[in-house]
Amino acid sequence: MQLPPFQALVDRHREDVYRYLVVVAGPAEAEDAFQETWIAALRAYPRLERADNLRAWLLRIAHNKAMDAHRARARRPLPVGEPPEASTAAVRDGAPELLQSVRTLPPKQRTAVFCRSLLGMPYAELALLLDCSQDAARRSVHEGLKRLREEVQR
């Protein structure tokens, strides 16, 4: 099996990985997790057993790093002297409102909506990423979009 040069993965998928982190975890977490994702991927790369679906593999790593970043931020005390209102997610978060709403979905639906609606990912690849059947992946996309629409109309 032939793995492409790692730099080719960076060139091909960096924008998708970054947008995934912003949409699924938020801009602050994306900042923390972006470089970490690539280091973790580089570490695991030679042990990878298949070279198809590299994008799904990268997004799964990004997902784990985003969760790490989220936990680290939750543990971190607020800097002394910071006004309390500045610490609320809505204020420090520069992402468009609709994308922020994606983050109110359950994690699986977030990933499903992002990958399907923004990357146009085939269901086979999405099923691999979510570790579920293609039907279940389809349902996650559907449910996620439905809830998002309700959220927006509210």
Residues that bind other proteins (CB under 8 A): 2-8, 10, 14-15, 17-19, 22-23, 31, 34-35, 38-39, 42-43, 45-46, 95-99, 102, 113, 117-118, 142, 145-146, 148-149, 152
Q: Which residue, 23 or 69, is less far from other proteins as judged by CB?
A: 23
Which residue is it, tokens 């960096």?
A: 14
DSSP notation for 28-45? HHHHHHHHHHHHHHHHHG
CA atoms within 13 A on the CB side of 136: 9
Q: Which token pair is 11?
A: 């060139």
Q: Which residue, 36 or 70, is less far from other proteins as judged by CB?
A: 36
| Shortest Å, Cβ 86 to other proteins | 21
| Shortest Å, Cβ 95 to other proteins | 7
| Shortest Å, Cβ 152 to other proteins | 7
Q: Which token pair is 73?
A: 């931020």
Task: Report, in angstroms and rounded to the nearest whole number, the Rg of the chain calculated over CA atoms.
Answer: 17
Q: Which helix (H) or strand (E) holds 152?
A: helix 134-153
Q: Which residue, 78 or 106, is less far from other proteins as judged by CB?
A: 106
| Shortest Å, Cβ 85 to other proteins | 24
